[in-house]
Chains A and B, each alone.
Chain A
Amino acid sequence: FHAVFLLQVENVKLLDRYTNRKAASGTLYLTATHLIYVDASAEVRKETWILHHHISSVEKLPLTTAGYPLLIHCKNFHVAHFVIGQERDCHDVFTSLLKLSQPVKPEELYAFSYNPKMSKENREMGWKLIDLRLDYQRMGIPNDSWEITDINKDYEVCSTYPPEIVVPRAATKAVVMGSSRFRSRGRIPVLSYLYKENNAALCRCSQPLAGFSARCLEDEQMLQAIREANPGCPFMYVVDTRPKLNAMANRAAGKGYENEDNYENIRFKFIGIENIHVMRSSLQKLLEVCEMKSPSMSDFLTGLENSGWLRHIKAVMDAGVFLAKAVKEERASVLVHCSDGWDRTAQVCSLASLLLDPFYRTFKGFMVLIEKEWIAMGHKFSHRCGHLDGDPKEVSPVFTQFVECVWQLMQQFPCSFEFSERFLLEIHDHVYSCQFGNFLGTCHKEREELRIFEKTHSLWPFLLQRKQELRNPLYRGFTAYKELQPNTLPFSFQFWCGMYNRFDKGMHPKQCVLDQLLGCLSQKVTLEDNASHLENKLPIPDGPVPSEGCTSPKAGAAAAKAPTRPQDCAEGAAPVLSNGPSLGHQKHKESPAQPRDLGASREDGQAQHQ
């Protein structure tokens, strides 16, 4: 170990939750960033790394014959049960972890000390990898109806929006400013996604300050401008993703929802997704079910039902499907909000985009989607993930739910995503790890104040580096599937063992099809090289080689499909993927200097997931 230990405790046991195997025995180390456990009893040296930022709770349990137990719950659903011989040691570890896992100041976060030994230029390039302007360009914006404006450059319209937003061209500055005074926290209606085929737009905002009767002319004009930007449809939807009761209760506080009589040609609709507090307690219940010791099938299913978790997942998915259908089939623009428009709204807008546009199902596209709908639009990652010591009532698994919805889609459409479940888990880990700057703070303004673009690294280039291991071998390419229409009947939703029981390896399939197929794909490259190498060696290219099927152009379905067209296809779609200076491309071509820089970090990054 190169790191300096803050604490080192010998004779620590690590219990396995499910098997009755003999507990591991070894040494526990605390560094500035990680808890490291080295199993001395195993034949091969086995290390468990837990990032302090991943720790959500540390508990001291009652003394047992084996010693003083310490139970650690992590935000990535890792549960570690240590038993420490000495009470004093146990207490030391406990208090140190409490401090280390709940930093008070943002500067204490890992991202500010994380040093992957990357050059300044590469670091800056990394931040430019995702350029949202390019995504709007892809949608054809700016165009006659929509413009990208820097009206929010001084955060005068809205402090939690990015400096650049997309609004209807017809909305004047006065309309924008007026609307912003009528929307909670100034979060005015802005464009989230434009469906180019029919000009139907997906827009998002926060709830109006309507109370029982208040109106705002500019806000009404704003909605009119959005509706008129889509001349193909005479009406637009306004979707409130809250349960009706919640929205009505908000009216008493001077907030609420749009009155259909005040807005011209809108169709107003509630989609009942519960609030962050309900979601938090639902996850808590789900995790209790996952942690039960040898539950019966009934215990598990009843627990799963009572947690309500899958019901909430279905609600989010249903909402996403509704939006996508409205846009695609009814050709209607949709304006979505919840209360502040940064939790449920982010979930359903990003999900609808993912259903409508295959680009968002590629590596780069998914990164763009997260940057656009979550990071730029002010999803409060810092509060929802509890990065800093703060109000526990602000913590909620909103982003986790979105990631799960994507996973559920992967189950129904196994060939339509360029990436695999591992990519999702990787992102989910880093949302909590604070190792990269992307998810720090609550909004763009705060990230600027934290100077994360100067002081920290962006996650995305690091993930693109690992494309080979994170990709989906079954991906059929960019053009194979356009819009997805998932089945949302209850039986279409599965419990995601790979997420919530991810670290209980005993529960997972013992043989991994994904690994097998990835192995095949990398083997394929070697074999193809071998084949062409051998062919070159052969003096006269005469006659067919005994086993044909690979060379001949019409070699049947297998040969035609098997070469990983996916990647080629996606990269071939030039305007789509040329989003920012693409490190991904360079990596693909194996430019020697850069990967090494990035590669250095990898071991570190991997280590924490043991």
Chain B
Amino acid sequence: LCLTGHHLIFSSRRQDNAEELWLLHSNIDSIDKRFVGSLGTIIIKCKDLRIIQLDIPGMEECLNIASSIEALSTLDSVTLMYPFFYRPMFEVLEDGWSSFLLEQEFELLSSVTNEWRLSCVNKEFSVCPSYPPVVIVPKSVDDDALRKVALFRHGGRFPVLSYYHKKNGMAMLRSSQPLTGTNGRRCKEDEKLVNATLRSGRRGFVIDTRPLAVAQQARAKGGGFEQEVHYPQWRRIHKYIERFNILQESFIKLVEACNDQSHNMDRWLSKLEASNWLTHIKELLTAACLAAQCIDREGASVLVHGSEGTDSTLQVTSLAQIILDPRCRTIRGFEALIVREWLQAGHPFQQRCAQSAYSNSKQKWEAPVFLLFLECVWQIHRQFPCSFEFNEQFLIMLFEHAYASQFGTFLGNNENERAKLKLPQKTMSLWSWVNRPEELSRFQNPLYEANSLVIWPSVAPQSLQLWEGVFLRWNRPSRFLEEAEEERINIIKYNKELQARVNALRRRLAELEAEDEDEEVQ
């Protein structure tokens, strides 16, 4: 066992088994010590849900090691974290920090419509601290109006374009709650902004991710929702997507249930049910389907928000895009989606992913919001196994890196913080590594065939499953499942090779025939 500044390294002394375990200190969620006589045991629980047990002879030594690990895994300052020290061993082909710029996204948009513009109103992060410097807004709304709208929306998060549905020109906007308060304040600019996204005579839908009662209560604290009188062209639908500590508790309960091997069937099923995890999955998928349905089927524009607009809002808008937009189901497109709808949109990764399911701290701001999103993508993936360019491993990899990583991508809570930390200059981007061909090949889905259609997942309980790849990953043998995956890849790969060979033979034959003809002519 060896502790470095950032890693716990365990190497087996046996010659035959040169296996080494490298564990990032930042991956450690909690550690327990136990003593039986002079034999000490340290149980390390990781954010990726793995549990490692170290038996250490000697009480003193054990205590020393434990306190070192504890100190190293709970660094106070972000700038001491590994990404600031990590020196990649690979050649950077493409800097991931500039792989996904909103400007590129806007260029694509401009080729189909001229109703939108890029606004730099937030260049200094002064209008909205959790927004990126550039955002896409309706062309008819100027920056002054945006500044006014920002004052009317929680945290300054005025409505911006999240997704444009090329098929029918409908738009999905996201924002935070309007600050109507108990007096029913209104903001003409806000109304103008959202109405600018409507086709004449058409209605739009506001999807509020809170139940009506919660939205009403929010008014007492200065928040609120869009009232019919002021937004007559909009229909409001309330969904119920859980937040923060409820999700975190659910996560903790589920992981507890998965790790307890003493359960009988009834107890397992009742624990699974009581964790409510799958209920959250079902609710979230339902809300995303609703948003997608409004856009694709009803031909209406949609505005999505909850309270702050940094959690459930982003879950809904990004999942709706997975359903609607084939591009988001490619590897590049999915990465772009995460950059656009999560990182740039200001999901507070550092707060939410500070601790995972084994933490005892129960801080209010920790929640598996991003994991829940990834699992929903996995559920859709399971129902449409041929429509995604990436595989399950890709999603698991993203889960791991969101919680602990050598890359700077998921550090900080928004673009503002990332700029202050100078992450693009001082750390390596996850995308720089992932997008190298040798890494990408591990994440490709052999069954992928581009599918340009909207994909509607089933949300029936029978259609949803526990994500074994994450929750049972360390509790069950994976050999046989990996072999199956290998077999799938081989079958498809072999066919592709055969096809190539047949094509090559055909070409060659054609060439020969052509030569023969030439000779005959001569």
What 1/0 flags go to A512-556 for Cβ under 8 Å of B?
010011001101100110110011011100000111111100000
Q: How far is the CA of A302 from the CA of B276 in the complex (A)?
A: 11
Determine whether A42 belongs to the interface, using a CB cutoff of 8 Å to chain B: no
A509 to B495, CA, bound (A): 24
A171 to B11, CA, bound (A): 59
Q: Is the CB of A538 within 8 A of B509?
A: yes
Could you say which interface size class chain A belongs to?
Answer: 35 or more
Cβ of B494 within 8 Å of any chain A Cβ, yes or no, is yes
Known A-B contacts A491-B258, A510-B383; the reply to A550 vs B501 at CB < 8 A is yes
Map CB proximity to A onto B375-418 as digits: 1 under 8 Å, 0 otherwise: 00000001111110000000000000000000000000000000
Once bound together, how far apart are the Cα atoms of A561 and B477, in whole Å? 23
Q: Is the CB of B384 within 8 A of A509?
A: yes
CB under 8 Å from chain A, chain B span 422-464: 447, 455-458, 460-464
Cβ of B268 within 8 Å of any chain A Cβ, yes or no, is yes
Smallest CB separation, A63 vs chain B (Å)? 29
Bound-complex Cα distance A18 to B493 (A): 38
Check if B499 sits within 8 Å of A527, measured CB to CB: yes
Interface flag for B278 (CB, 8 Å): yes
B279 pairs with A298, CB closer than 8 A: yes
Q: Is the CB of B462 within 8 A of A290?
A: yes
Contact indicator A310/B265 (Cβ below 8 Å): yes
Which residues from chain A contact B497 at a C-beta distance below 8 Å? 547, 549-550, 558-559
Q: Which of A295, A305, A510, A545 contacts B266 (CB 8 A)?
A: A305
The interface residues of chain B lying within 8 Å CB-to-CB of A524 are 491, 494-495, 498
- Determine whether the beta carbon of B491 is less than 8 Å from that of A476: no
Quick one: which of B139-159 are within 8 Å of A by CB? none
Q: On chain B, which size bracket covers the interface?
A: 35 or more
B13 lies within 8 A of chain A by Cβ = no
Which of B267, B464, B484, B489 sits near A297, CB closer than 8 Å?
A: B464
* Distance in angstroms between the alpha carbons of A46 and B460 in the assembled complex: 25
- Identity of the chain B residue whose Cβ is nearest the Cβ of A300 in the assembled complex: B461
Q: How far is the CA of A77 from the CA of B36 in the complex (A)?
A: 56
Taken residue by residue from 262 to 277, chain B's Cβ proximity to chain A (1 for < 8 Å, 0 otherwise) reads as 0111111110110010
**Docked-complex contact B462 and A495, CB < 8 angstroms:** yes
* Chain B residues whose C-beta falls within 8 Å of the C-beta of A415 in the assembled complex: 480, 483-484, 487
Partner of A412, one of B463, B480, B490: B480
A530 touching B502, Cβ below 8 Å: yes
Give bound CA distance, A537 to B384, whole Å. 41
Nearest Cβ in chain B — how far from A462, in angstroms? 27
Question: Is B481 part of the contact surface with A, judged by Cβ < 8 Å?
Answer: yes
Q: Do A311 and B465 touch (CB < 8 A)? A: no
Cβ of A296 within 8 Å of any chain B Cβ, yes or no, is: yes
Contact A414 B484 (CB under 8 A): yes
Q: Contact: A539 with B512, CB < 8 Å?
A: yes
Query: Does B174 sit within 8 A of A, measured CB to CB?
Result: no
Centre residue among A297, A308, A511 by max chain B CB count within 10 A: A297
Q: Which DSSP category, helix, strand, loop or mixed, fits chain B's interface?
A: helix
Which of chain B's residues has its CB closest to A312's CB?
A: B265
Cβ A562 vs Cβ B385 within 8 A:
no
A301 near B509 (CB under 8 angstroms)? no
Complex Cα distance, B447 from A497, in Å, reads 23
A397 to chain B, nearest CB (A): 17
Q: Note all chain A residues with C-beta closer than 8 A to B481.
A: 414
Contact assessment for B480 and A414 in the assembled complex, using a CB-CB cutoff below 8 Å: yes
Taking a contact as CB atoms closer than 8 A, the residue among B387, B458, B491, B499 that contacts A562 in the complex is B491
- Whether A366 sits at the interface, judged by CB under 8 Å, is no
Q: Are A491 and B475 in contact (CB under 8 A)?
A: yes
Contact with A along B464-490 (1 / 0, CB 8 A): 111010001001110011011001111
A487 within 8 A of B: yes
- Closest B residue to A534 by beta carbon equals B505
B504 close to chain A: CB less than 8 A: yes
The answer, yes or no, to whether A243 is at the interface (CB within 8 Å) is no
- Is A62 on the interface with B (CB-CB < 8 A)? no
Which residues of B, 61-92, contact A by the 8 Å Cβ criterion?
none
Known: A509-B383, A509-B385. A314 touches B265 (CB 8 A): yes
Q: Complex: how many Å from CA A414 to CA B258? A: 22
8 closest cross-chain pairs (CB), A and B: A562-B494, A300-B461, A490-B268, A414-B484, A301-B273, A305-B269, A547-B500, A534-B505
Where the two chains meet, the residues of A that have a C-beta atom closer than 8 Å to any C-beta of B are 18, 290, 294-302, 304-305, 308, 310-311, 314, 412-416, 473-474, 476, 487, 489-495, 497, 501, 504, 506-511, 513, 516-517, 520-521, 523-524, 527-528, 530-531, 534-535, 537-539, 545-551, 557-559, 561-563
A–B Cβ pairs within 8 angstroms, 12 of them: A305-B265, A308-B266, A311-B264, A490-B267, A497-B462, A538-B509, A545-B508, A546-B504, A549-B497, A558-B490, A558-B497, A562-B495
A-B contacts besides A290-B462, A516-B447, 20 pairs, CB < 8 Å: A298-B279, A301-B269, A301-B270, A301-B278, A414-B483, A415-B487, A476-B483, A489-B261, A489-B263, A509-B384, A510-B456, A520-B491, A520-B492, A527-B498, A534-B502, A545-B508, A546-B504, A549-B497, A558-B493, A562-B494
- State the B residues within 8 Å of A (CB): 258, 261, 263-270, 272-273, 276, 278-279, 281-282, 382-387, 447, 455-458, 460-466, 468, 472, 475-477, 480-481, 483-484, 487-495, 497-506, 508-509, 512
